[in-house]
Amino acid sequence: MRMVMLGAPGAGKGTQARLVSTKYGAVHLSMGSILRKEVAEQTEIGRSIRGTLSKGDMVDDGVVNMIIENQLQRYESVILDGYPRTQLQAQHLDDFLREHPPELDVVFLLELAVESVIQRLSGRRVCERCSKTYHIQFYRLQQCPCGGRLIQREDDNPDTIRHRMEVYEAEIQPLRDFYKDCGLLYPINADQSVEGVFAEISEVLDKIILPQI
């Protein structure tokens, strides 16, 4: 399968993508993780995008398109998380997959209100060693069980989150319409438990998508 996981920052795209990857065997390609790795390793790409990421702005289309093209030539069954983020990126992906099949099977849109996004992200902490995420509401220690220090990402402060949401809201409507017109879009209520969201996604995959492949 080839699928896309859309949604606002903090809607749970990464969590759901990992669950889907485990159950269905698709490779989870997280654009955010790929870009943050470039920054952490101080690669040429990383140095050029550090400021952009810290402000919550979008990385240049040419950079993310190139990264995804390289990954899609390595893996056939994938979950794209954090890409595409604009209609132009979606059109580029569609054109690329027409020349390098298989094409997309499904696009999930995790829907979550802005205030819920702010609450989730402002309390998120990430282990600087293993990258596992926690929330201060449920995990109050300053250290991950692996021994790594828990830190707040630069783009997880409330002001940056609101800016990220403004960027997201401006881009998601045309992207939603694009995939709806393609017949690939399945909205999912993300304002529920992780298990509830995953159950909705699994039902779509098991009853609608997989029987067609």
Residues involved in catalysis: 13, 85, 124, 153, 164
Task: Report the alpha-carbon distance of residue 16 to residue 194 in Å, rounded.
Answer: 8
Sort strands 106-111 and 185-189 into parallel, antiparallel or unpaired. parallel
Q: Cα–Cα distances in Å, from 1 out to 37, 102, 137? A: 26, 8, 35
Q: Cα–Cα distances in Å, from 151 out to 39, 140, 191, 206? A: 16, 12, 25, 37
Number of C-beta neighbours around residue 200 at 10 A = 18
